[in-house]
Amino acid sequence: MHKTLDSAQFRKVMARFVTGVTIVTSRAGEEVHGMTCNAFCSISIAPLTVMVCLTRNSRTERLIGKGRVFAVNVLSESQTDLSDRFAGRHKERDENRFDGFPWTTAVTGAPIFKGSQAYVDCKLMKTFDGGSHIIHLGEVVAAHTDNLKRPLIFYQSRYMGLASLKPLE
Ligand SMILES: Cc1cc2nc3c(=O)[nH]c(=O)nc-3n(C[C@H](O)[C@H](O)[C@H](O)COP(=O)(O)O)c2cc1C
């Protein structure tokens, strides 16, 4: 018999699943915000669809509800500082997380960071109740990769790089 599961054990197990790191950004009018997110995956090819799963009532989740767009910035190994900032780890900079990190836009107006290894720019299609989190499906309306960048990896709550990876075509 298994003993009753607690959330610490659940987190420990999930931390064994290697992920990349993204920043999910959104925009409503002139307001922009975003958060570091590794709950990101591809869902469908027709229509082109991705999923991000964000804490209910977080600033980013509420802004996506308002603006109905989001971009997913797939980070490169040199962007640990950006990841920490958008995870709220620079307390003194949490009012404006974008300060010092140049960004641009593609189609929807959601912020896209310079130096990321890839991005998808999305229109919100649907949301689903995911308990403590809200599941967002987005239709991809623009996408880009930078083949010279190498990925930032997250494993057991630590950042890592793929040291042996050669530049890809
Ligand atoms: C590597 C990493 C991955 C994260 N992934 C997620 C995630 O998938 N979903 C989520 O809701 N929060 C995730 N977080 C936590 C958020 O980035 C953090 O709570 C952030 O401050 C939320 O911002 P907001 O409340 O201002 O929107 C992650 C943090 C880190 C460092």
* Low-confidence spans in the chain with pLDDT less than 50: none
- Domain of residue 131 covers 19-161
Probe target for ligand 1 pocket from 32, 53, 58, 134, with the most ligand atoms within 8 Å of CB: 58
Q: How far is the CA of 169 from the centre of ligand 1 (A)?
A: 31
Rounded to whole angstroms, how far apart are CA atoms 67 and 37?
19
Residue 9, in any domain of the structure: no
pLDDT of residue 166: 65
Rounded to whole angstroms, how far apart are CA atoms 68 and 161?
33
Is residue 51 within 8 Å of residue 24, measured between CB atoms? no
> CATH number for the domain including 150?
2.30.110.10
Number of domains in the chain: 1
Q: Which atom of ligand 1 is nearest to the CA of 87?
A: 17
Residue 23, in any domain of the structure: yes
Confidence (pTM): 0.95
pLDDT one-digit tens code per residue, 122-158: 999 999 999 999 999 999 999 999 999 999 999 999 9
- Of 20, 30, 27, 78, nearest in space to 50 by CA: 20
